[in-house]
Amino acid sequence: MKNQGEITFPGDLLGVIEEFSPGEGSYEEDGNVRSSTIGKVFYDMINRRSNVLSPKKSLMVTLRKAKYVYGIVNLIKEDVANVDIVSVEEKFITPISGLLHISQISNKRLNSILEAIRVGDIIKAKPLTFSPPISLTIKQKDLGVIFAQCSICGHMMTKLDEEHLKCVYCGNVEQRKVGNYVVRKYAN
């Protein structure tokens, strides 16, 4: 029998049916309660159930409580951007898939998603859904692009104003939906 909080794998013995009934992430086989997934053992002593809490479920619980996430834009198609979510608030995670629709970027009308974000940008966004792919929004003032590289020379860009970034190397100016967290104000 596994101890409370111990990591378990599919098929591991969690107990016998006389002690615990199978709960979430477990099943009964020939009077034995076994794990059906990878996760941590949780014995519900009140209801006498053996549960296995998978990391994916705990991540979804964390996402529900999250005020924001950080992600890297990896693909843009017409009116949707694919984002690899790499951090929930300040905690790094195994990347999960996110989607940012053009309607969730700004309250202003955009002709193209490229007016607000580009591939390679790091964004601060708020999750709207909690199962992959995670729907995201950057409409709030403090959300948006927090790090960008120049599309001409690849150097870091700094904040020029609320909608523009300027390359520190070549002087190129590009339009973005700028968040107010990391990108610095440009100083002449």
Instruction: Tell me the pLDDT tens digit for each residue of 156-188.
Output: 898 888 889 999 899 999 999 988 755 555 555
pLDDT above 70 covers a percentage of the chain that reads 92
Which segments of the chain are extended strands (E)? Answer: 7-8, 13-16, 21-22, 26-29, 32-35, 39-44, 49-53, 69-77, 80-88, 91-101, 122-127, 134-137, 144-147, 157-161, 164-167, 173-175
CA 30 to chain centre: 40
Parallel, antiparallel, or unpaired for β 164-167 and 157-161? antiparallel
The tokens 């929004």 sit on which residue?
137
**pLDDT over threshold 70, residue 75:** yes
- Calculate mean pLDDT across residues 65-94: 91
